[in-house]
Amino acid sequence: MSVQPPTILLEHHLKALKLPTVLRDYKSLAQICSQERTDYPTYLLRLAERELIDREQRSTERRIKAAKFPVLKTLETFDFSAQPSINEPLIRELMAGEYMDRRENVLLIGNSGTGKSHLATALGMTACTQGRRVRFFTVMGLVTHLLERREERSLERMLKQLERHDLMILDELGYVPFSKAGAELLFEVVSRAYERTSLIVTTNLPFETWTEVLGSQRLTGALLDRLTHRVHIIEANGESYRLKDSKRRLGRARPAKAPKA
Ligand code: ADP
Ligand code: MG
């Protein structure tokens, strides 16, 4: 009669217990530990640590995926010297994430190409690593989505889903005016987020012109009131990074041209 080796049963149990890292590493680590004459509890501790680290990593990755960032950007790739108007100490403070515990908002205002979306994404990515539920939208995308949901009579469900986030990024409140219904739905989102979910809004519009985009003075006032009650404002007023970058590249390309014979 054949006896099943214990590893088969062990691996079955590890799968059932959802311990993929223990399953992957238990043999190799056992070998290392026996060479090092490590005791059993230490072996078990090291396995448990690996599982825990991988589990955190996996859930961060899940949260980043769920946030639906259009491009992944981090602070490491942000060059503050290229945009001296940006309050770097404030950005670094926000990276710690406490503003979300206080349900504070962040408003990034400035010209196109000054790194607003980059910084908003970097803040969102960091929030994901801190275990926060994050969702990124362009403002237009969000409004379109809400209007569709209303058509399908599932608006309330979507609004409830949005409420479950710790942070929502609303990117590019821009020059394109909303329909009355669109503006009202945006207001509904901001209103429900108030004191529940932190918002990061990026825009190239000074406050004075928000009424033109949102259509109604009363609604703009009420929206700004909620958005700016507890807010960190970051202004980016330098030259477009994209523009500067391509100028720099052009400048570099020129002397590289073959000299005329
Ligand atoms: P905005 O949202 O303000 O229009 P973006 O964040 O989209 O600008 O920036 C445009 C491009 O330039 C992006 O690829 C971004 O990563 C890059 N960028 C902007 N500012 C910086 C910076 N200071 N350092 C590094 N990259 C930057
Ligand atoms: Mg942008």
Tens of pLDDT along the chain (261 residues) come to: 556 678 999 999 999 999 999 999 999 999 999 999 999 999 999 999 999 999 999 999 999 999 999 999 999 999 999 999 999 999 999 999 999 999 999 999 999 999 999 999 999 999 999 999 999 999 999 999 999 999 999 999 999 999 999 999 999 998 788 899 999 999 999 999 999 999 999 999 998 899 999 999 999 999 999 999 999 999 998 888 888 777 777 777 655 444 444
Q: Which atom of ligand 1 is nearest to the CA of 114?
A: 3
pLDDT given at position 209: 92
CA of 170 to the centre of ligand 2 (A): 10
Q: Which atom of ligand 1 is nearest to the CA of 120?
A: 6
Rounded to whole angstroms, the Cα distance separating 183 from 119 reads: 25
Task: Say yes or no: CB of residue 198 within 6 Å of ligand 1.
Answer: no
Q: Which of 241, 243, 246, 249 to mutate to test the pocket of ligand 1 (most atoms within 8 A of CB)?
A: 241
Q: Which atom of ligand 1 is nearest to the CA of 115?
A: 6
Rounded to whole angstroms, the Cα distance separating 50 from 28 reads: 13
Task: Say yes or no: CB of residue 69 within 6 Å of ligand 1.
Answer: no
pLDDT given at position 2: 58
Task: Determine contact, residues 29/46, Cβ cutoff 8 Å.
Answer: yes
pLDDT given at position 4: 67
pLDDT given at position 248: 77
- Ligand with minimal distance to 246 CA: 1
